[in-house]
């Protein structure tokens, strides 16, 4: 299996109008280790100096860091630096996958760990509400007895064709019903909408956050900070496992997608969220760089060898925390 290495820098800056005395933050920025992906190294750089920083795994198995800043500040800077090796995900022949209308029954009858996990992703979640209109949209692709991957790819391509990418049309809390009505939004909206479509017909689906390597405009150099966090969808296919789909780009993710976390919707896995004491007004800027490196057939599997994750925590004022 061939892996492609990526160096990823994700920089988040909060500029506060007034002074913040104490702040608490949850970070989900370390890429996951998967059968086709290995996080070879990960580091955090945080300004100002952190008083507390701790690591944990959340309910969905995502890596999280809890950070406390007790020094008065008007600016918070967080940089996540990762080196990740990615291989293509396995994609079966679409017509050989089970009929979609049998999946809910198959999953309900599967009392293994994978079946029970999948059932959690069939129901409504805070940011993904199912409706009859959404189910009707899905059923245009999901004809009776159609193979689930064939139908899911058709749905992905329809969303890509019929919905316009428009960053000004939505915000982080825009309901999926409004996204369907206006047919405009960003990757988060399209992922939420496709998840709602799949769940509305009984197919387990979850929200995936990560990164996507982008190309420079023709004839121009790629600018620093022009990549972005990305979101896509994963659905459960009995006998195969979880398969990814990217409705924003109308494709099945491959080696250019780097997975960071997954959950029921964006609310479960936002990259950085927190509570502050002091000025509530702020400006936010985010810059991401995804730089492809060499190909290899044998990535250095540091997390597997060490029996855990390889994470270096770096503060601005002291070299290690």
How far is residue 59's CA from residue 255's CA, in Å, rounded to a whole number?
A: 26
Query: What distance, in Å, lies between the first and last C-alpha atoms of the chain?
Result: 37
Q: How many CB atoms lie within 10 A of CB 196?
A: 28
Beta strand pairing call for 3-27 and 63-69: antiparallel
Q: Give per-residue pLDDT as tens, 140-177.
A: 999 999 999 999 999 999 999 999 999 999 998 899 99
Q: What is the largest CA-CA distance in the chain?
A: 61
Tens digits of per-residue pLDDT, 276-291?
A: 888 768 899 999 999 9
Identify the pLDDT of residue 221: 60
The pLDDT, as a whole number, for residue 294 is: 81
Q: Round to whole Å and give the CA distance between 159 and 48.
A: 42
> Cβ(62)–Cβ(26) under 8 Å?
no
Confidence at residue 108, expressed as pLDDT on a 0 to 100 scale: 85
What global pTM score does this model have?
0.90
In this prediction, residue 302 carries a pLDDT of 35
pLDDT at 309: 38
The 3-state DSSP class for residue 42 equals: strand
Residues of the chain with pLDDT under 70: 216-226, 280, 299-321
102-107, Cβ contacts within 8 angstroms, sequence gap of 24 or more: 103/148, 103/202, 103/203, 103/204, 103/236, 103/237, 103/238, 104/202, 104/203, 106/238, 107/204, 107/236, 107/238
Q: What local confidence, expressed as pLDDT, does residue 11 receive?
A: 96
Q: What is the set of domains in the chain, with CATH numbers? A: 3-87+270-315 (2.60.40.2250), 94-253 (3.10.620.30)
pLDDT for the residue 112: 80
pLDDT on residue 301: 45
pLDDT at position 218 = 65
* Helix-strand-coil split of the chain, %, nearest 5: 20, 40, 35
- pLDDT (0 to 100) of residue 116: 86
Rg (CA), the chain: 20
């Amino acid at each position: 299996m061939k892996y492609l290495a990526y160096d990823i820098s994700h920089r988040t800056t909060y500029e506060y109008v007034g002074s913040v005395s104490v702040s608490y933050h949850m970070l989900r920025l370390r890429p996951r280790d998967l059968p086709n992906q290995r996080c070879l190294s990960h580091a955090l750089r945080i300004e100002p100096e952190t008083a507390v920083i701790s690591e944990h795994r959340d309910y969905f198995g995502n890596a999280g860091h809890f950070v406390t800043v007790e020094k008065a500040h008007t600016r918070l800077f967080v940089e996540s630096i990762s080196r990740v090796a990615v291989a293509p995900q396995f994609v079966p022949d679409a017509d050989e996958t089970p009929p979609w209308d049998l999946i809910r029954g198959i999953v309900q009858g599967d009392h293994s760990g994978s079946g029970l996990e999948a059932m959690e992703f069939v129901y409504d979640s805070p940011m993904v509400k199912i409706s009859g209109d959404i189910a009707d949209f899905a059923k245009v692709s999901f004809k009776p007895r159609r193979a689930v991957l064939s139908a899911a790819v058709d749905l992905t391509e329809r969303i890509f064709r019929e919905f316009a990418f428009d960053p000004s049309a939505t915000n982080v809390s825009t309901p999926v019903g409004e996204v369907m009505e206006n047919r405009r939004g960003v990757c988060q909206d399209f992922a939420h909408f496709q998840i709602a479509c799949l769940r509305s017909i009984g197919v387990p689906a979850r929200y995936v956050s990560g990164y996507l390597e982008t190309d420079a405009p023709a004839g121009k150099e790629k600018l620093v900070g022009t990549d972005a966090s990305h979101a896509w969808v994963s659905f459960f296919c009995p006998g195969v496992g979880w398969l990814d789909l990217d409705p924003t780009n109308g494709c099945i993710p491959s080696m250019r997608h780097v997975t960071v976390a997954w959950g029921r919707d964006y609310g479960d896995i936002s990259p950085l969220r927190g509570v502050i004491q002091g000025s509530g007004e702020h400006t936010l800027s985010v810059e991401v760089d995804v730089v492809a490196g060499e190909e290899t057939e044998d990535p250095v599997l540091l997390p597997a060898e060490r029996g855990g994750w390889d994470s270096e925590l770096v503060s601005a004022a002291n070299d290690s925390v």
